[in-house]
Amino acid sequence: MKKRRFSLLLAALLTMAVLGGCGSDGTGESSGNNSSTSTVVDNEVQEPQGEKTYGGTVVVGIQQDIDGLDPHKANSAGTKEILFNIFEGLVKPDENGNLIGAVASDYTISEDGLVYTFTLREGIKFHNGNLVTCEDVKYSLERVSGLLDGVPLMATMKAVQSVDILDEKTVQVTIGEANPELLYSFTAAIIPAGSGEDENAELVGTGPFCFVSYTPLESIVVKKNPDYWQAGLPYLDQVNFKIVASAETAMMELKGGSIDIYPYLTESQAAELSSDFRMVSASSAVLQALFLNNAEKPLDDVRVRQAICYALDGDMINEFLYGGNSVLASSAMLPALKSFYVDLNDTYGTSANVEKAKELLAQAGYPDGFALEITIPSNYEVHMQTGEIVVEQLKNVGITATINPVEWETWYSEVYKGRKYQATISGLAGDLTPGYIINRFQTESGKNFVNFSNAEFDRIYQELQAIPDLKGREEPYKQLQKILNREAASAFIQVAPTNTAVSNKLAGYRCYPVYVQDMSTVYFVK
């Protein structure tokens, strides 16, 4: 057996130099009015100095309601960022982009990559006080992989063929073919055996906070886990994740002091805040795009989709929303995954090519343009502002676009799940593996909400799954990006920085290269 250290795996695996680093607002300047904006470098924050204190309650503003409390069934990134505090897998990501042991203290992978052996952490407990057992691990992994009922809850875990208990501390997982990206899937939550099928089961995990209550459209409240395995954590007694319906409400509550932390601000929002807050900025793992429903006319014509790509001015969007600090995107891969990413921005250009767009529209039979409805979740100010710019840019080529603002729940059910839309502006949150975003463009993927279908793409993606080493996967992933770019599967825009307002009463807030809000390290300064 070949032993691999959690803390080194993804650093070597994905070269997360960009995603792992945090910075100020990207300009080196303060982004607020009289603001004492902190600089963040490698998560060492220049933040309020003082004694670390235990206790207290923090209110974190979030932009959408959750899509459920079952950690194995949650789809929304906004849900997962909260459940990160309640549930843990055998492994979990840290703020530097590495996988560390969580429910498992150690693991080995066989030389052929087909057998994963996990050792449970000594004395780790669920929130109900019960020790985590190998039976709980076996149940959780069999549930997400579909071995219990034939319905996998995580697509990547379909590779699991068996989960066997070797002794009271050791679980062995056997997969069908080697997959160097699979280890990240073992972040899947470990829950008590049988609890997933019991509607009345107590909601318990092993994370730093225990579930207290959930009020739809209002809040999710968690409290300190006194038995958490990481010594000294968490500091806070309670965290209230407050669902804020609109950007205007969020800004009002920030200014009024009723919210202590609020992520995903635009540059203009950040500039409104006073010196009571500092702005913590970091590279994000969220890919924003004008997503196009390839099954809807006239977007079923590749020339129309290409015309839209030519019509957009990514440089203008980036400058207006983030002061030029975004990374412009060209396909469904995070630029930070350097070994797998190919820069295709030159295909359509980063500024508008109005004449080329009009030429393609005329070839497609739309010399006078057409009407386009862009459905946008109104609670996300960055997407709404992007939409306003896009409407004006499309107007220049004869496309009359209108924004249809909807509540998040409507967007999720009708656009993402129901695929009943023409176009939408949203973001796809990636993780630390190169296949996480791009896999949703397979024809048969349940997450393929843009209805993209390309036989060459499907073939390459399936062939890629049999490549046992990451180096061998680099070129196929680049081929997939080129297909999405060439076929204009959607109009990819940018990977924007994450701007988070943090009250100067607090310290310890950490940036992550994945979409989470880790409250375990946050504390009040005395």
pLDDT at 483: 98
* Helix orientation angle between 247-256 and 381-395, rounded to the nearest 10 degrees: 140
Is 15's pLDDT higher than 80? no
DSSP 438: H
> CA dist 84 to 81, 92, 328, Å?
5, 9, 28
Is 8's pLDDT higher than 80? no
Which tokens belong to 140?
């959780």
Q: Pick 114 or 32 by higher pLDDT.
A: 114
Residue 66 lies in a domain: no
What's the rounded mean pLDDT across residues 53-76? 93
| pLDDT-wise least confident of 69-78, 267-276, 417-426 | 267-276
Residue 407 lies in a domain: yes
Residue 467 lies in a domain: yes
Residue 149 lies in a domain: no
> CA dist 98 to 8, 247, 381, 434, Å?
6, 33, 31, 15
Which tokens belong to 285?
């793992």
The count of C-alpha atoms lying within 13 angstroms of the C-alpha of 75, restricted to the half-sphere facing its C-beta, is 13
- Encoded amino acid at 127, one letter: H
Residues paired with residue 281 on neighbouring β-strands, in sequence order:
23, 499
Residues paired with residue 289 on neighbouring β-strands, in sequence order:
426, 492
Residue 244 lies in a domain: no
Task: Specify burial of residue 232 (Cβ count, 10 A radius: 0-12, 13-18, 19+).
Answer: exposed
Q: What is the pLDDT of residues 106-161, one digit of tens each?
A: 999 999 999 999 999 999 999 999 999 999 999 999 999 999 999 999 989 999 99
Q: Domain with 466 in it: what CATH number?
A: 3.10.105.10
Residue 43 in 3-state DSSP?
Answer: coil
Residue 347 lies in a domain: yes
Residue 258 lies in a domain: no
Count of H-run helices and E-run strands, the chain: 14, 24
Q: Are 286 and 430 in contact (CB under 8 A)?
A: yes
Q: Are 333 and 477 in contact (CB under 8 A)?
A: yes
Is 241's pLDDT higher than 90? yes
Q: What is the DSSP string of 57-114?
A: EEEEEESS--S-S-TTT---HHHHHHHTTT---SEEE-TTS-EEESSEEEEEE-TTS-
Looking up tokens 């009024």 gives 256
Share of the chain above pLDDT 70, in %: 91
Looking up tokens 């969220």 gives 286
Q: What is the pLDDT of residues 352-401, one digit of tens each?
A: 999 999 999 999 999 999 999 999 999 888 999 999 999 999 999 999 99
Residue 450 lies in a domain: yes
The whole-angstrom separation of Cα 250 and Cα 247 is 5
Q: What is the DSSP string of 132-192?
A: P-HHHHHHHHHHHHTTTTS--SSGGGGGEEEEEEEETTEEEEEESS--TTGGGGGGSPP--
Confidence of residue 42 (pLDDT cuts 50, 70, 90): very low
Q: What is the DSSP string of 502-515?
A: EETTEE-----SSS
Confidence of residue 46 (pLDDT cuts 50, 70, 90): low
Q: What is the pLDDT of residues 300-334, one digit of tens each?
A: 999 999 999 999 999 999 999 988 989 999 999 99
Q: What is the pLDDT of residues 180-193, one digit of tens each?
A: 999 999 999 999 99
Q: How many domains does the chain have?
A: 1
pLDDT at 63: 86
Radius of gyration of the chain, Cα coordinates, nearest whole angstrom: 23
pLDDT at 11: 41
pLDDT at 38: 34
What's the rounded mean pLDDT across residues 398-422? 96
Q: What is the DSSP string of 272-283?
A: T--TTEEEEEEE
Confidence of residue 247 (pLDDT cuts 50, 70, 90): confident
Backbone angles phi, psi at 242, to 5 degrees: -95, 125
Q: What is the pLDDT of residues 79-98, one digit of tens each?
A: 999 999 999 999 999 888 78
pLDDT at 20: 33
Residue 267 in 3-state DSSP?
Answer: helix
Confidence of residue 198 (pLDDT cuts 50, 70, 90): confident
- The pLDDT mean for the chain works out to 89
pTM of the model: 0.83
